[in-house]
Chains A and B, each alone.
Chain A
Amino acid sequence: DQQVKQNSPSLSVQEGRISILNCDYTNSMFDYFLWYKKYPAEGPTFLISISSIKDKNEDGRFTVFLNKSAKHLSLHIVPSQPGDSAVYFCAALGRGVGGFKTIFGAGTRLFVKA
């Protein structure tokens, strides 16, 4: 049972345009949602997060939107750059027994064409 779902395995966007990556979750008890970026042969790195009590968080070219009623979040990258080409993982952080744990989606591979 996947609690965090990224239904698009890949996305291709032209440089300068907006990239929109989507994520759905099933557990309404998650406290934070995060996006990680992963380049080949490297570990994922944290990109941006949003608290469950907010609906938008912006950091430079990156904005995350949260729709709690739909259990949906999205990452917007604008303008997209070739260096943004990577795998993006959506993640949810919540309380587990005795601590906190992060659950990840399957990832979406973004291609930004020059």
Chain B
Amino acid sequence: DAGVIQSPRHEVTEMGQEVTLRCKPISGHNSLFWYRQTMMRGLELLIYFNNNVPIDDSGMPEDRFSAKMPNASFSTLKIQPSEPRDSAVYFCASSLSFQEAFFGQGTRLTVV
């Protein structure tokens, strides 16, 4: 398995634009997580899915953020409209129930 695949690796966009981050989890994993890495808070859990169903989105900072998982092999995190303070590295991770999570390489988002 190629592991968790995220795209794009880097994204630079202008303030106000819509940004969509993509994730392909490891086949067979039933949990998917979106994290945001910041200097102050480390890895913040934004939202997680279990069997494609959003379970806890309490970490999503604002209504500008939304996430979907239309099937077991794909998830998106969308920011609309984007703001400079959204600049960070966004990680997707997947796991099999009560086991350690496997992370993708992350998407570095810069909003100018």
Binding site for B on A (CB under 8 A): 2, 6, 31-32, 34, 36, 41-46, 49, 89, 91, 93, 96-107
Contacts and interface: CB of A to CB of B under 8 A. Distances in A.
A102 B101 contact: yes
B43 A44 contact: yes
Interface of B: 4, 31, 33, 35, 40-45, 48, 50, 53, 55-56, 91, 93, 95, 97-98, 100-106
A49 B105 contact: no
Interface of B (DSSP majority class)? strand
Nearest to A34: B100
B104 A43 contact: yes
Given A43-B105, A93-B98, A101 B48 contact: yes
A101 B46 CA distance: 11
A31 B100 CA distance: 12
B104 A99 contact: no
B55 A104 contact: no
Contact of A99 (B55, B102, B103): B55
Given A31-B98, A45-B103, A101 B45 contact: yes
